[in-house]
Amino acid sequence: MYVEIMAALSIASEDDEVMAVVLTAVGKFFSAGMDFENEPSMAYEVQADDSARTAEIKRALPKRVEEDVGTWLPVLFIESFIRFEKPLIGAVNGPAIGEGFSSLLHCDLVFATASAYFWAPFARAGVAPEFCSTILMPERLGRSLANAAIYLGHRISAAEAKSAGFVLELFPTGEKFESTVLDRIEEGLALTGPPELRTKTLKRYKRLVYQDSDREKLLLQCRKEFELIREIGRSGDTKKVQEYYQNVLPG
């Protein structure tokens, strides 16, 4: 999934016909969070149904070096969000948990259903905040709500997220959500000039909103966060936390 999303962002970045990218999902959840029983090696092995760009990225992935988090696939995945030069829009059709939530911090706009919620219980998973959460969460949600989410594992409701300004607009949950959001986006894009200039205009604007210094700050923070994740894992604390919750919580 990491590489497939990286491929989609790469293709969208190069295609002048693409003005913006909408990040959404199918089903009741936007994201149920990390599958801790996944097989990481699959991310490096070209599969029969991989797209040409996905296969290309997999073949170019650096060998993971434990001492250099810059070689880790999750870091490269997050960097693809940081470096993306066009508007990225979240259409949150349901609960956004873990990286499903923290990835949305990199979206320029977020729409959501009224039944959505946002939850990233970093300590519950035995890891550290990632996706530049330690910078972006206070910026996007306000310090108090961000601190509640980071320190206390607070689950943020759709109403709280809208009140904080993180979500632009809430819509009823249902099959029409995606089409309604796309209609709203297309209405706005129609106001960005003639079609042949829209992509150029939006990229120019994003360079002003997110300057090189902003990107460099996020790239550095991403690596700091994963250095802490590495430290926690090496200490054995990640395993202790996960074993603890397996024993005290059902499922």
Inform me whether the pLDDT recorded for 43 exceeds 90: no
Asked whether 206 and 120 are in contact (CB, 8 A), the reply is no
How many alpha carbons lie under 13 Å from residue 6 in its C-beta half-sphere?
A: 22
DSSP 157: E
Find the mean pLDDT for residues 38-51. 88
**Mean pLDDT across the stretch 180-197?**
96
The whole-angstrom separation of Cα 18 and Cα 4 is 17
> What does the alpha-carbon distance between residue 107 and residue 76 come to, in Å, rounded to a whole number?
17
- Sequence-ordered strand ranges (E) for 37-188: 88-92, 96-97, 109-113, 117-119, 156-157, 169-171
Reported CATH class of domain 2-174+197-248? alpha beta
Q: In what order do the strands lie in the sheet with 21-23?
A: 21-23, 88-92, 109-113, 169-171
The model's pLDDT over 121-176, given as tens digits with 9 standing for 90+, comes to: 999 889 999 999 999 999 999 999 999 999 999 999 999 999 999 999 999 999 89
Determine the pLDDT at residue 249: 61
> Which contacts qualify for 148-156: CB closer than 8 Å, 24 or more apart?
149/118, 149/119, 149/120, 150/120, 150/122, 153/119, 153/121, 153/122, 153/123, 153/124, 155/117, 155/118, 155/119, 156/117, 156/118, 156/119
pLDDT tens column, 205-244: 999 999 999 999 999 999 999 999 999 999 999 999 989 9
pLDDT higher than threshold 90 for residue 34: no
According to DSSP, residue 26 is labeled: S
Task: List the beta bridge partners of residue 171.
Answer: 113
pLDDT band of 247, cuts 50, 70, 90: confident
Q: What is the pLDDT of residue 9?
A: 98
Closest C-alpha among 164, 119, 137 to residue 221: 137
Sign of the dihedral defined by the CA atoms of residues 182, 188, 190, 192, in that order: negative
pLDDT range class, residue 39, cuts 50, 70, 90 = confident
* Spatial CA neighbour of 41 closest among 70, 66, 8, 63: 63
Q: Quick one: how far is CA 52 from the chain centroid? A: 23
- Closest C-alpha to 129, from 245, 225, 248: 225
Spell out the domain ranges in the chain: 2-174+197-248
Q: What is the pLDDT of residues 83-116, one digit of tens each?
A: 999 999 999 999 999 999 999 999 999 999 999 9
- pTM comes to 0.94
Per-residue pLDDT band at 41 (split at 50, 70, 90): confident
Confidence check: pLDDT of 250 > 60? no
What are phi and psi for residue 113, nearest 5 degrees? -85, 160
> Collapsing DSSP states into helix, strand and coil, what is residue 71?
helix
pLDDT band at 40 (very low <50, low <70, confident <90, very high): confident
**What residues does 90 pair with on adjacent strands?**
23, 110
pLDDT tens-digit map of 45-76: 999 999 999 999 999 999 999 999 999 999 99
Tell me the percentage of the chain whose pLDDT exceeds 70. 98
